[in-house]
Structure 1
Amino acid sequence: MPESPEEHIGARIASYRKLAGYTQRELAEAAFISLGWVRKVERGERVPSHGFLTAAARTLHVSVEELTGQPYRGESRSDQRVHAPIPGIRAAVRHYDLPADWYPQPKPLRDLERDVRTAGDYRAAARYSRLGQMLPKLLEELTAAVHLSAEQERRRAAGLLASAYYMAHSLTMRLGYPDLIGQLEDRMQWAADLSGDPLMRALAGWTRSYSFDAFGDYSGGLKVLASAREELESDDSVRNVDQVVMVGSLHLRESSLAAFAEDADATAHHLEKATYWAKKMPRGTDELHYHMTFGPSNVGVHEVAAAVELKRPDEAVRVAKKLNFPADMARTRQGHHYVAVARAYLSLDNKDKALKYLQDARRVAPEQTKYHPIARETARVLTHKYRRTTEELRSISSWLGVKS
């Protein structure tokens, strides 16, 4: 079994394929993926798409993280710091339903609400070390507040706890802890139901779709998203910006899963619906509500990402050239976008542009980019394809933990 996180994704796929007794052709046929892509990915000549990874993982009976080599723990102090909160988050997840007399008295809800806002700012800025430092204690205190508060305050505390679970889910997903991701989705649904807030329940559905996505169960994930959206979506019931942002964000998430499934028609349908809702944003720009960034720019970000997944790099580059981010656009969104554009340019054999966008991703969201498996693989393929590497490529590859 592969052990080294320094192995490229294709080498890990090849190792697991051989352990499972498949030839390259047999894997391609069983996973319904192109034989040419299997060969190129295993040789380190192509960056695998999300759909490719989930199909290979499902066929080989492993997780996507086992193919990507996550979590990337590294040896630096910063690497250790970003992973350090995981045991505390696990403990808070275990403690969610202990008897009320087990919990110490938490801080007042107004103070916890302020802490949740601060944690939300860290998440949107992709400051994962800072976010992680807050989460274990914040989760424990909010859990105590849910169990120790009277009815009205309990609902408010439950909404805050659902937000904290969402942020913990974001962190563990980026770092690559699939078992914890699923537990956090369950806890978030529990807290959202307790809150009685339909928008928080919708956010829980949005979040839950990631476990379906990770196993290539796109139809199941799309059903979860559609159920969450249908509770909110109609011209009669969507009356305020919070609701517009949530409905639009659900459509964008549906467009992503449809693109992973290589369903171009469904992808286009959900992007069209998202565009419709983006036009209803009162200020005509992207806004952040209920942890979701939504508006015209994020629709464009998803159009680029979908084009990359559907193997349309020219279209991805064309859309990307028209995008202008508002000054307060969440750095998580910007960072993901720049990695997608780097992939598009790499597919077009434009190494200079691919490198530029990797550098842009590092500039706006360094911690997100450093632990992003596709950012790593893009840098690795660049070094593989272009043996005469520049100092800039060597620098970012070294920073990502990619060896030439």
Structure 2
Amino acid sequence: MDQHVGQAIASERKIAGLSQRQLATRARYSLSMVKAVEQGREVASPGFIAAVANALHVDPDRLQGTPYLDTLAEDGPLEGLAELRAVLAEGAYVQPLEPPSRAELRSELVAVETALHNDRTRRAMALLPTLIRQLYGAIAQSSDSDRAEAYELLCATYVAAENACCRLGYSSLTALVLDRLDWAASHVDDPGYAVRSLMKRSRLLMAHGSTDVALSLVNRGLEMVPGDSEGERALRGYGTLRGAIVAARGLRLDLAEDYITQARVIARPMKRESNLYTTDFGPGNVEIHACAVELEAGDPSKAAKDGAALHLPADMAAPRAGHHWQDNARAWLMSGKPDKALIALNKARAVAPQQTRLHPSVRETLHGIAAAQRRQSDSLLGFASWLGTSL
């Protein structure tokens, strides 16, 4: 049987010489919650994992077992990862490649962003290292008048790289990516990329339980978009949604709901999800986040029912839709409806199979369904087989 997060927590707790009660006290959760998670009767939420990781002085990835190397290996070597690691290790001294034309560079970036939008993250990872080196070459060869455009393309490429690393489970690389994004963003007049970096760093901090610092970065980013252009509205909306999730993760439900209210106002005139700055901000994404806030800090039953009733826009990014159904599965499980949770997981699988196989919450929810069901159904066992895990 594969180890779920609760078993990993129990192992690390014993190594640290802590009782369940001591861990509960340090993590500021109830003793009953710690016991339930360790026994697999309760799914470990991201907030719980962050709190326990801090209490045990371990990385959250250690508890989740990410990246899932065996699952990744089933589809062959992960092209681009080793080279991306080398590029990031080079820091400010990236070895450039001879760049193609500016039009070709833009086309390569579109190919990366399209792959990410369509849940083809492995394809994006394969393209990223060469594109980054070519952009450094373009910057070196650019005149003062067109160097800013090359830096903007590099910013967008680093945004894509952070996304790819997160989805594939290599979150340890994201801090390095964000450091390079901060540097590149300082060379462009458009504040949008600096805002994106702040919001992405807030996500990284949230994973480590630093919600107060994460919120300060969210608010700092929002202060950088005072205008009302289409791009600024998308950035402001994107930032308010990030604020909502950070606040919910910190169990500040009132503040999270305030952010959702602000996001609804921004999205109200929009007819579709925006692709500006690859924020995916729009009316559909707002309602997805409203359900996520309810799941993290409010009523899981309401999150489950509201989430199941959502009609997601056809133009929504596949991984964003997949993440919604993953959250919906967790909400149904927390509401005592394991059968409906499995239905939601299959919806996630249908819309974003690559992301679903690699997201930690999916495995946790699956183990929770197995623990809640009196007998393991063929559909549950089939999903576990597809996921590459055992129950």
TM range (shorter): over 0.9
Find 1:97's aligned residue among 92, 99, 102.
92
* Deviation larger for 249-258 or 128-137: 128-137
Q: Is the 8 A contact 1:380 1:397 kept in 2?
A: no
Which position in structure 1 is the counterpart of 2:102? 109
CA distance in 1, matches of 2:117, 2:172: 23
Once the two structures are superposed, the pairs formed by residues 225-304 of structure 1 within 5 Å of their partners are 225-233=218-226, 237-238=227-228, 240-281=229-270, 283=271, 285-304=272-291
The normalised TM-score by structure 1 is 0.93
- Counterpart of 2:245, as a letter, is S
Shift of 1:387: 4.2
Distance, in Å, in 1 between the alignment partners of 2:204 and 2:300 is 27
Instruction: Go from structure 1 to structure 2 and tell me whether the alpha carbon gap of 1:305 and 1:124 turns closer, same or farther (over 3 Å shift).
Output: same
Q: Is residue 380–residue 402 contact of structure 1 (8 Å, CA) maintained in 2?
A: no
Instruction: Tell me if structure 2 keeps the 8 A contact 1:14–1:42.
Output: yes
- Give the count of matched residue pairs: 391
The residue type paired with residue 273 of structure 1 is Q
Q: Which residue of 2 aligns with 1:330?
A: 317
Mapping of residues 184-195 of structure 1, within 5 Å: 184-195=177-188
Q: Deviations over 1:33-67 (max 9, x none)?
A: 12111111100111111110100011111111000
Instruction: Return the offset for 1:85.
Output: 2.2
Cα deviation for residue 279 of structure 1 reads 1.3
Return the alpha-carbon distance in structure 2 between the equivalents of residues 315 and 229 of structure 1. Answer: 29
Rate the CA distance shift 1:67–1:310 in 2: closer, same or farther, 3 A. Answer: same
Tell me by how many angstroms 1:176 deviates. 2.3
Which residue identity is paired with 1:10? Answer: G
Moved more, 8-17 or 312-321: 312-321
Unaligned runs of 5+ in 1: none
Cα 1:148–1:199 change in 2 (3 A) is same
**1:370 aligned to 354, 357, 360, which one?**
357
Q: Which amino acid aligns with 1:117?
A: V
Q: Secondary structure at the match of 2:66?
A: coil
Stretch of structure 1 that moved more, 172-181 or 111-120: 172-181
1:45 counterpart residue number = 41
Matching residue of 2:19: 23
Letter in 2 for 1:333: R
Please identify, of 102-111 and 260-269, the stretch whose mean Cα deviation from structure 2 is larger.
Answer: 102-111
Aligned pair partner of 1:393 in 368, 371, 380: 380
The answer to whether the Cα contact below 8 Å between 2:97 and 2:133 also exists between their aligned partners in 1 is no
The one of 126, 140, 145 aligned to 1:147: 140
What is the DSSP-based 3-state SS (H/G/I as helix, E as strand, rest coil) of the residue aligned with 2:275?
strand
Quote the Cα distance in structure 1 between the aligned partners of 2:249 and 2:242: 11
CA distance in 2, matches of 1:143, 1:114: 16
- 1:342 maps to a residue whose letter is A
Q: Name the counterpart of 1:160.
A: 153
CA deviations 1:112-169 (Å, max 9, x no partner) are 1111111111111221111111111111111222233222322111111111111111
Relative distance call for 1:401 and 1:311 in structure 2 (3 A) is farther
Query: Kindly, what percent of the aligned residue pairs are identical?
Result: 33
Task: Give 3-state SS (helix, strand or coil) of 1:232's partner.
Answer: coil
1:95 alignment partner AA: E
Which residue type is aligned with residue 152 of structure 2? Answer: G
The answer to whether structure 1 residue 87 and structure 2 residue 89 are counterparts is: no
Q: Say if 1:287 and 1:295, in contact at 8 Å, map to a contact too.
A: yes
Give the C-alpha shift of residue 266 in structure 1.
Answer: 1.0
TM-score, reference length from structure 2: 0.96
1:121 aligns with 2:117: no
Amino acid at match of 1:218: T
| Structure 2 CA distance for aligned equivalents of residues 84 and 107 of structure 1 | 22
SS of the aligned residue for 1:150 comes to: coil
Q: Residues 127, 78 of structure 1: CA spacing in aligned structure 2 closer, same or farther, 3 A cutoff?
A: farther
The Cα shift of 1:193 comes to 1.6
* Letter in structure 1 aligned against 2:108: D
Which whole-Å CA distance do the structure 1 matches of 2:113 and 2:127 have between them?
11
RMSD, aligned α-carbons: 1.6
1:382 is the counterpart of 2:372: no
Q: Deviations over 1:273-321 (max 9, x none)?
A: 111111132x3x3222111111111111001111111151122023224
- Asked if structure 2 preserves the Cα contact closer than 8 Å seen for 1:40 and 1:46, the reply is yes
Question: Any idea what the Cα deviations from partners look like across 1:64-108, whole Å, max 9, x if unmatched?
Answer: 100000110116754443x34221111122334228xx5332111
CA contact (8 A) 2:138 2:150 kept: yes
Which runs of no fewer than 5 residues in structure 2 stay unpaired?
none
Q: Which residue of 1 aligns with 2:213?
A: 220
> Which sits farther off after the overlay, 63-72 or 164-173?
164-173
Residue type at the aligned position of 1:7: Q
